[in-house]
A and B are shown apart, each in its own frame.
Chain A
Amino acid sequence: MKYIDEFRDGDLARKLAAAIAAEVHPDRRYHLMEFCGGHTHAISRYGIAGLLPANVNMIHGPGCPVCVLPIGRIDNAIELAARPGLILCTYADTMRVPASKGLSLMKAKARGGDIRMIYSSADAVRIAQENPDRDVVFFAIGFETTTPPTAVAIRQAEALGLSNFSVFCNHVLTPAAIANILESKEVRELGTVPLDGFIGPAHVSTVIGSQPYEYFAEEYRRPVVIAGFEPLDVMQAILMLVRQLNEGRAEVENEFTRAVTREGNAKAKALVADVFELRRTFEWRGLGEVPYSALRIKERYRAFDAEARYAIAYTSVPDNKACECGAILRGVRKPTDCKVFGTVCTPENPIGSCMVSSEGACAAHYTYGRFRDAAVVAAPAVTATAA
């Protein structure tokens, strides 16, 4: 596959790994957070951790749209799907997220809810056109990458004069989450989360540009390197972060120049600004209420706002007590620190959201990397058998 295989080349990976190993100072540690679930997935899937020196530590960030969605919002979606005649359209990843009362959208579907998995917001508009006598709600989630398509769907529905289509908006904002982590007690006061630099989002940055990260680099003295989602992108970004840290720089650098500019996508940003406005506050799983961290539909498009149309009331629901998703999303804990990881909580029976999406830190580690933990455990087991 031209233009993809080039970014997965094993020989180049070895050269980059050698360069990183040669440049890291053995007497210091490099704690780097990849914000995005897409990077978390790439790191696990391609085994990147195994190619890095021991003192380069990757911390998984909260950039997994399904993971940060709080239980209360899934409950709202299930309540919508339970309305007679209503069709709820959703991206596939949200289907298996555990909600209250042992439910999930998947289970609500099995109980008769008309829940349709779609691949694009345009599919939801089409379903509304094809079912004029039924209400159709698009359960919109995601960061800045998926927000412009939702805006397009709303404008399209308006142009088509669809009165049966609305959007349950749960779009969230990347910079707000990064600021929240940098302001958190663990990072600022306690120092329990050593955080030396960020790998910045790929797709999100194609929309918002690299500019919004300049504040973090300046204000918090943390370097940010925006990187693509291919494994060589990630390796290159790690090398660039190591160099910045070695030289005492804290700048925004762009590894993903083939897609990201400083200003971002003006057209997409204008669309979003036309349809959405900031919410005063929004609850994130793991981060709690974060001020000005999410979007809602503007008054002008109120007819397409499911929250107004169905008077959706949000109730915060605490996570399962045994679940460490919150701490994992803040980078305070690793998946393997969680007592239920791989025992009670598996991709088949997820307790927390990080085990659901392929971008979730727990699912990525369970699916691709858990043999590394097992290797440690396996040694005594083998001895016992031999004895």
Chain B
Amino acid sequence: MSKVRDGYVRPVDFRHGRVDMTHGSGGRAMAQLIDELFVAAFDNEWLRQMNDQARFAPPPGRMVIATDSHVVSPLFFPGGDIGCLSVHGTVNDVAMSGAMPLHLAASFILEEGFPLADLKRIVESMAKAAREANVPIVTGDTKVVEKGKGDGVFITTTGVGVVPDGIDISGDRARPGDRILVNGTIGDHGVAIMSLRENLEFATTIASDTAALHGLVGAMVAAVPGIRCLRDPTRGGLATTLNELARQSGCGMMIHEKRIPVQPQVSAACEFLGLDPLYVANEGKLVAIAAAADAERLLAAMRAHPLGRQAAIIGEAIADPHHFVQMETSFGGTRIVDWLTGEQLPRIC
């Protein structure tokens, strides 16, 4: 029987083909797409079982789970695409608890008419990112919506991981006197995306910083197990993350503009677009808060890692009943770094 079917089914046309409604119907076309694209690219023991779920024994420690939807436009940008972004985003959300990410689940919403060649490129980028991160994509789902009801492809990923006992990293643990660190230049991802947007197109050498940060986090936790807070400043940028941490921890923050690493091209792009790099999205950056006594050791551990070479101590938590994030400007004045108002740039991740 199988011999007849093998000869009968034409392989998916990844060169000229497009997503159609049958790819989400649950029938043979969907099964074929899953086989030839997703299973082939993500290939691992769980997917090969062809079940609707993946089973695994959790290692000792506390389980961590995080989920993230990705709707970035455009789908392909300098330094990455929606595929690797959807892996990095969720791996990072899990890692910010100090956990080692173990497995990912991926859910695709495809729009009718989307080129299969683009889908293949995206899925292969996801597979590469998952392999490099050593976090397999073990289960997934595919749905197709009519043309005009989606925008090419949306990807939701969910990650699970395990955090060892004794590590307690949480956004509510910053205390006055603690130091605030970042692992490198801010605003790269947002500016890379903006450089391709309709009406805004400008030439830039900036690439997205999209990266999986769990390796860096592992090195940081090994150096300073008592890290108080970790968070990746994605949408809303560094400013938003600091405001979140200040509110959760019930303290204020004082940062120093001169110490915040920003690439000159990012400053220049923000200048002529009227944006503030503090509010521009990142996809491979983290904010860490640690006790003053641990700060230099943490900084050294970060700088020793490839994703933390430009790490810097940018400020400190302070006592403030209003939970303001303030900044000493390079100019010599002081101002608030407030919550973002409205929307700086939609669909950035």
Residues in A lying within 8 Å of B, measured CB to CB: 1, 4, 8-10, 13-14, 17, 44-51, 96, 118-119, 123, 231, 347-348, 363, 366-371, 374, 378, 381-382, 385
Task: Name the segment of B5-13, B47-55, B79-87, B334-342 touching the other chain.
Answer: B334-342
Taking CB atoms, residues of chain B closer than 8 Å to A1 are 264, 267-268, 271
B333 within 8 Å of A by Cβ? yes
Residues in B lying within 8 Å of A, measured CB to CB: 199-200, 258, 264, 267-268, 271, 320-322, 324, 326, 329-336, 338, 341-342
Given A1-B271, A374-B324, A378-B321, answer yes or no on A46-B331 (Cβ-Cβ < 8 Å).
yes
**Does A369 contact B336, Cβ atoms closer than 8 Å?**
yes
Docked Cα-Cα span, A93 to B172, in Å, equals 35
What are 13 inter-chain pairs, A to B, with CB distance below 8 A?
A1-B271, A14-B332, A49-B333, A51-B332, A118-B199, A119-B200, A347-B342, A366-B338, A367-B336, A368-B338, A371-B324, A371-B334, A371-B336
Docked Cα-Cα span, A81 to B244, in Å, equals 37
Given A119-B199, A374-B324, A378-B322, answer yes or no on A47-B332 (Cβ-Cβ < 8 Å).
yes
Docked Cα-Cα span, A177 to B334, in Å, equals 31
**Does B333 contact A46, Cβ atoms closer than 8 Å?**
yes
Taking CB atoms, residues of chain A closer than 8 Å to B324 are 371, 374
Given A1-B267, A1-B268, answer yes or no on A368-B342 (Cβ-Cβ < 8 Å).
no
Taking CB atoms, residues of chain A closer than 8 Å to B320 are 378
**Does A10 contact B341, Cβ atoms closer than 8 Å?**
no
**Does B322 contact A4, Cβ atoms closer than 8 Å?**
no
Taking CB atoms, residues of chain A closer than 8 Å to B326 are 371
Docked Cα-Cα span, A51 to B331, in Å, equals 10
Closest to A373 in B: B322
Q: Which of A48, A49, A348 is the one whose CB lies under 8 Å from B341?
A: A348
Taking CB atoms, residues of chain B closer than 8 Å to A4 are 271
Given A347-B342, A367-B338, answer yes or no on A47-B333 (Cβ-Cβ < 8 Å).
yes
Closest to A17 in B: B332
Q: Which of A13, A96, A363, A366 is the one whose CB lies under 8 Å from B331?
A: A13
Minimum-distance CB pairs A-B, first 5: A47-B333, A347-B341, A368-B335, A46-B331, A10-B332
Docked Cα-Cα span, A382 to B319, in Å, equals 10
Taking CB atoms, residues of chain A closer than 8 Å to B258 are 10
Closest to B200 in A: A119
Taking CB atoms, residues of chain B closer than 8 Å to A371 are 322, 324, 326, 334, 336
Docked Cα-Cα span, A369 to B268, in Å, equals 25
**Does A96 contact B335, Cβ atoms closer than 8 Å?**
no
Taking CB atoms, residues of chain B closer than 8 Å to A381 are 321
Docked Cα-Cα span, A51 to B335, in Å, equals 12
Docked Cα-Cα span, A366 to B329, in Å, equals 17
**Does A10 contact B331, Cβ atoms closer than 8 Å?**
yes
